[in-house]
């Protein structure tokens, strides 16, 4: 079945026989037993709920995994994921991860005895140098947030398997519609479902997906024990959002391609980070491991003053955190998504006062360009 059809029809719905086209919201905390030792398959919603189960089966199918677990946020998913590891275990991670992920690793997981090496995972030789007897996993974002560095997933999977390591891939930016890391050898895929999977900037969610029965059983035990599960209503909102994932991603990418090209022609824009540009250093890797480039663009302007003026002059594009929704959002990473990263580390990764991150939405691309043009100019801003 084509993935565009799978987005709409999802998993097989075995939870009801009413003929309802929309999956019901089973807003129940518990389920009655038919008798001693007899169950409907649902006992308590922390363990499983029919609405959430349908969503999880749909996500697993989209990623070509055997199991998916739905969490209240992406950060909750990562928190549960880290429970796979024990005191003294070492994990290699991309050095340009989302700031909240690095904050969790540095301030929570390290306190609990885990060790991390943050490096450029697009350089496989550098990754090899950091593998030691305590290393248990490699954790990558590709492309990274916010400087759009691309890691070769298949090459990293080969290295991980040769060293008996778990390969974890954050696939939030490209989604299973454009990239399927499990097919390339990854063991676990992570999503902030808040972003493109939901697609409407109105729901928080996170996912872990695996094609390993062993990892599925371990994660399910952690999930049941810690209780960080997505609610039935939020599960239903994600089911609804995923139905339009394919058409949203294609339109947003079309807009992003046009805007990225325009940004490269602007005098005040000194650098454009978009993996769909042939000038991107990892363009060929992106083409090889995915079927699209997504709609996330970062760009560096000439001065901090230009960046601040742009943020204050925009009328259509919203100055807000998050990404992946139908509305275009612009973020100032150094003071928002990566504010908790030490300044020296931020600057070393190119996250400076001139860098902006743009999540391109579904608006007319020319309207978005007009808004950016007036915000970049010296003239007073005007209403669109």
Confirm if 187 and 160 have CB atoms less than 8 A apart.
yes
Q: Which residues contact 293 (CB under 8 A, 6 or more apart)?
A: 174, 178, 253, 256, 257, 274, 275, 276, 286
Number of H helices, E strands in the chain: 14, 12
- Among 46, 240, 258, 268, the active-site one is 46
Query: Any catalytic annotation for residue 170?
Result: yes
* 291 catalytic residue (yes or no): no
Contact call for residues 172 and 207 (beta carbons, < 8 A) = no
The Cα–Cα gap between 160 and 168 comes to 10
To 10 degrees, the CA torsion angle through 62, 66, 67, 68?
A: -20
Catalytic residue among 52, 136, 195, 349: 195
Kindly name the residue from 170, 187, 282, 371 that is annotated as catalytic: 170
Q: Considering Cα of 260, then 265, then 266, then 270, what sign does the dihedral take? A: positive
The catalytically annotated residue of 98, 139, 274, 332 is: 98
CA–CA gap between residue 318 and residue 65 (Å, rounded): 35
Backbone angles phi, psi at 269, to 5 degrees: -95, 115
d(CA 223, CA 271): 42
- Nearest Cα to 139, choosing from 130, 229, 60? 130
Which stretch of DSSP H or E encloses residue 309?
helix 304-313
Q: Catalytic site residue 195?
A: yes
178 is catalytic: no
Active site residues: 46, 98, 170, 195
């Amino acid at each position: 079945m084509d993935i565009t059809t799978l987005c709409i029809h999802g998993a097989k719905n075995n939870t009801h026989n009413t003929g309802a086209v929309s999956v019901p919201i089973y807003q129940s905390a518990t389920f009655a037993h038919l008798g001693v030792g007899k169950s409907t398959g649902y006992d308590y919603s922390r363990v499983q709920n029919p609405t959430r189960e349908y969503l999880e089966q749909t996500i697993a199918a989209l990623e070509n995994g055997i199991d998916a677990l739905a969490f209240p946020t992406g950060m909750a998913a990562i928190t549960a994921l880290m429970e796979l590891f024990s005191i003294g275990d070492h994990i290699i991670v991309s050095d340009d991860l989302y700031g909240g992920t690095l904050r969790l690793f540095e301030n929570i997981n390290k306190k609990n005895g885990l060790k991390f090496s943050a490096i450029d995972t697009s350089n496989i030789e550098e990754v090899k140098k950091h593998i030691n007897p305590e290393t248990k996993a490699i954790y990558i974002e590709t492309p990274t947030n916010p400087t759009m560095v691309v890691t070769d997933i298949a090459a990293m999977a080969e290295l991980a398997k040769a060293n008996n390591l778990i390969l974890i891939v954050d696939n939030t930016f490209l989604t299973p519609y454009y990239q399927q890391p499990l097919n390339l050898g990854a063991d676990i895929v992570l999503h902030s479902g808040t972003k493109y999977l939901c697609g409407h900037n109105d729901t928080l969610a996170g996912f872990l997906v695996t094609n390993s029965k062993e990892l599925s059983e371990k994660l399910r035990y952690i999930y049941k024990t810690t209780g960080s599960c997505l609610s039935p209503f939020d599960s239903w909102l994600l089911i609804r959002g995923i139905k339009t994932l394919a058409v949203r991603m294609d339109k947003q990418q079309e807009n992003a391609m046009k805007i990225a090209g325009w940004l490269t022609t602007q005098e005040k824009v000194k650098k454009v980070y978009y993996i769909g540009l042939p000038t991107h250093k990892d363009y060929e890797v992106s083409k090889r491991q995915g079927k699209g480039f997504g709609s996330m663009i970062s760009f560096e302007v000439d001065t901090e003053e230009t960046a601040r003026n742009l943020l204050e002059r925009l009328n259509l594009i919203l100055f807000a955190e998050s990404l992946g929704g139908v509305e275009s959002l612009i973020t100032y990473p150094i003071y928002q998504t990566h504010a908790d990263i030490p300044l020296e580390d931020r600057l070393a990764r190119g996250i400076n006062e001139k860098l902006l991150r743009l999540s391109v939405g579904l608006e007319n691309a020319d309207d978005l360009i007009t808004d950016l043009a007036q915000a970049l100019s010296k003239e007073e801003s005007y209403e669109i």
